[in-house]
Structure 1
Amino acid sequence: MRNGSLPLAFAVALAWGVVYLFTQVFADPPLGVAVTVLIGVAITLVLTVGYPSALRGPRTIRPARPTAGRHGNTIAAVGRSMPLRSGLTTEAARRAVELLHPVLGGDSVAITDREKVLAFLGPGSDHHRVGSEPQTEASARVLARGRTIVVRDRRRLGCPNADCPLQSAVVAPLAIGDRVVGTLKVYRLDDIPPPRGVVEGLAGILSLHLELAELDHERKLAVHARLDALRAQINPHFLFNTLNTIASKARTDPEEARQLLLRLSDFFRYAVRQDRHLVEFGQEYFFVRTYLSLEQARYGERLQIRYDVDPQVLTAHVPVLTIQPLVENAVKHGLADKLDGGTVTLKARVDPLTRTTAIRVSDDGVGMRPEVLEQLTGEHGTPNGGIGLRNISERLEALYGERYRLDIQSHYGDGTIVDLRIPLG
């Protein structure tokens, strides 16, 4: 038993003894059992509530408040709103020091990258200017070693300005992985440096936000690269074949040749000018129809098209230049080698329950042999072969992570089905 338990147990036992004596021995006639128990329970409750023992548990302790600064900001609140989530830029650093200044327990706060001061707030800003090189020796040591330094006197701070009012500091590294990219510096005007733990903690939060910003940047670069690859993938044979078709039509049907030339111009204008990653399905739908109208001019009756598009899909957002390559594969690999041709079907639906957009491109062409399908899709049915499908798959992964599905089914001699399901946007 912990301290306080034995005295309380003794007091409760004694109380029940007294209750028994007064209600059953001294009382004449004795009180009823129910009354005796009620009085005993009441006295026990009074003793237990009024006595701070282990049986009742420790008295309520108010949790310590998070570290707060002069204006009531907390470290938790700072972490949630950290502007360096957009990267280590001058504007982001300026907003960060304004946010951090009240919570760091210092007189001046600065953020630098490896080459210059990005932001400085407080005394000393007259010579620790934004855009200039970090002047203190402490900054150079932190950038070189990647470890926090606590400076307790002005000489070790190493500022070359004789009139600098800063006397002590904590300088912590800002890092992305193992790479030091800058510093967080908190200065005091006396020889008592600010709390090292607080500065290091916030430097860690800043570093985490910088890592997330770099990941975002890399993801965007990857998405742009895939989009450029899809643009470059537009089959040059398609262009030459279409131009040959237009040239032959120019002799027999000049008006149709003119219309085809306009459609070809629309096709390439759309493909080249798209700089967004997501567009409304209606725009991609127009692009696909333009492409198929050009292919129908070439293949004639051998190529039949069927559209089954729910009007609700038209305003849903889909990745740009994604559906047309699937349709092109159906024409090129599914129907081009089939003597009597076939039908390409584009079906699109919105599923409000799962909040997804479902797109299916199917053909009744030659299909794929099992070994070809396995090589194309791998073990799990998701594309890992073929430049076009791989570019599409990797781009979808960059945009949606694991929140998409791209599945291929094919039977040799009986056509191919490609199903794409993406989050509704």
Structure 2
Amino acid sequence: MTATTAVVLVAIVAAVVAAVVVITRRGTRPLTTTTERAVHAALSTASSAARPLRRGLDADSAADAAPHLRTLTGAHAVIVAGPDGTVLAVNGPADEETADFPATARRAIDTERRVLVRRATRSVVVQPVLTESAGVVCVLGVVTAAEPGPGLLGVCTEVARYVGEQLELAELDAGRARLDRAEVRALRAQISPHFIYNALTTVASFVRTDPDRARELVLEFADFTRYSFRSAGEYTVLADELRNIDRYLTLERARFGDSLDVTLQIAPEVLGVVVPFLALQPLVENAVRHGVAGRGRGRITIVAADAGTDAAISVEDDGVGMDPELLRSGDLGAADGVHVGLSNVDDRLRAAFGNDYGLVVETAPDAGTKVSMRVPKFRPGVRA
């Protein structure tokens, strides 16, 4: 082996050793810092506390949130009381502090200020939780073995603010749900009494001439009303909504006969899309009222198509149409109930999916009406 070759081999060995050292060091390098792990843990704990709080405050949600609030504050124990000072949940050893907590909590509620209770071995920070809309919504008791310093008091303030925000969001969610239920009740009340009267009249007309047909129509009417007045849920899947529309149209076709021509173009892949309950009924009912009933005959086309991330749904008639100025006025329910229920559906679509998902109405006098909507195939928090 020459001297030159030996030098080259030594250099290669040195390079390999250096590479192994670098790789080893990189392999043992921590992926996150201590600060990053602490931030992640705090955010994860806050998220865990938020989930029960977003259900609203009661004994169950307070009990579920208390362990996470205790972790966030680093407390010896945590006490959660309602807006009247009644203890809802305790996490950690705090029997002595819990006994007289309601009286102290009421002081904090009355003054809307923090109360500090010092004992021989432990102290309790009694922190009222306030929101802009409701004032004091609950009280937190943070039990600590150390003298509460500025750091802990600051943590109590921030945790209380966080709890208040979650409870305020819970109240907004509850208010939205109450509004949705009220709108569904209003929509049910708007289901045309003329349709109900006409459907029963149609059934009666078949009782003598075609009893079997009358029996079928009675069952269709029963299923239609059972679905329309069900109490479960603010949303449904498109397949169920279309099935109820078919019941409605079966009753109307029995009334109008060949004068009512209905075409359905439904893409199978959108049948599972979630839509607001009774979102299509007003569209189809108005199409029948203004497309057929006013003229004696007419054609209605119902389309549900796949549009990428959305489902595109439309109901079109070739009836009398309406003045577009009524639409530009911003009141879809104007003009003596013309297109009754459309404003309700428009509001519910926008509340559920955002302002990009309202109704689009194309119409003109004597030119028919086409009402379209787009519904996202998936939206977090919206399920049947």
Instruction: Give the TM-score category using the shorter length.
Output: 0.7 to 0.9
CA offset digits 1:339-359 (Å, max 9, x no partner): 4x110110111212xx11111
Q: Partner amino acid for 1:252?
A: T
SS of 2:341 mapped into structure 1? helix
CA drift at 1:145: 2.0
Query: What are the within-5 Å matches in structure 2 for residues 17-96 of structure 1?
Result: 65=35, 74-82=41-49, 83-96=52-65
Distance change >3 Å, CA 248–CA 73, structure 1 → 2: closer
CA drift at 1:326: 0.4
Distance change >3 Å, CA 127–CA 134, structure 1 → 2: closer
Aligned to 1:326: 283
CA drift at 1:97: 2.2
CA distance in 2, matches of 1:180, 1:322: 39
CA drift at 1:128: 1.8
CA offset digits 1:357-385 (Å, max 9, x no partner): 1111000011113444444x45xxxx464
TM-score, structure 1 normalization: 0.73
CA distance in 1, matches of 2:199, 2:153: 70
Within the alignment, does 1:368 sit opposite 2:335 as a pair? no
Structure 2: segments with no counterpart, 5+ residues: 1-31, 379-384
CA offset digits 1:50-80 (Å, max 9, x no partner): xxxxxxxxxxxx9994896xxx995433222
Residue of structure 2 aligned with 1:180, choices 110, 123, 136: 136
Q: Partner amino acid for 1:182?
A: C
CA contact (8 A) 1:97 1:119 kept: yes
CA contact (8 A) 1:73 1:102 kept: no
Q: Percent identity at matched positions?
A: 37
Within the alignment, does 1:196 sit opposite 2:153 as a pair? yes
CA drift at 1:250: 1.7
CA distance in 2, matches of 1:372, 1:186: 59
CA contact (8 A) 2:234 2:277 kept: yes
CA drift at 1:214: 1.0
Residue of structure 2 aligned with 1:390, choices 335, 343, 367: 343
Residue of structure 2 aligned with 1:125, choices 95, 98, 107: 95
CA drift at 1:94: 1.8
Highest Rg: 1 or 2?
1
SS of 2:319 mapped into structure 1? coil
RMSD across aligned positions (CA): 2.6
Aligned to 2:381: none
CA contact (8 A) 1:166 1:187 kept: no
CA offset digits 1:149-207 (Å, max 9, x no partner): 334x34xxxxxxxxxx6642222211232511111111234655672101111111111
Q: Partner amino acid for 1:101?
A: R
Distance change >3 Å, CA 264–CA 118, structure 1 → 2: same
CA drift at 1:102: 3.5
CA contact (8 A) 2:236 2:277 kept: yes
CA drift at 1:333: 2.0
SS of 2:94 mapped into structure 1? coil
CA drift at 1:313: 2.0
CA contact (8 A) 2:137 2:164 kept: no
TM-score, structure 2 normalization: 0.80
Within the alignment, does 1:359 sit opposite 2:313 as a pair? yes
CA distance in 2, matches of 1:122, 1:261: 62
Structure 1: segments with no counterpart, 5+ residues: 1-61, 155-164
Aligned to 1:411: 364
User: Number of residue pairs matched?
Assistant: 338
Aligned to 1:35: none
CA contact (8 A) 2:333 2:341 kept: no
CA drift at 1:274: 5.0
Distance change >3 Å, CA 166–CA 174, structure 1 → 2: farther
CA distance in 2, matches of 1:305, 1:332: 14
CA drift at 1:319: 1.9
CA distance in 1, matches of 2:37, 2:125: 17
CA distance in 2, matches of 1:78, 1:101: 10
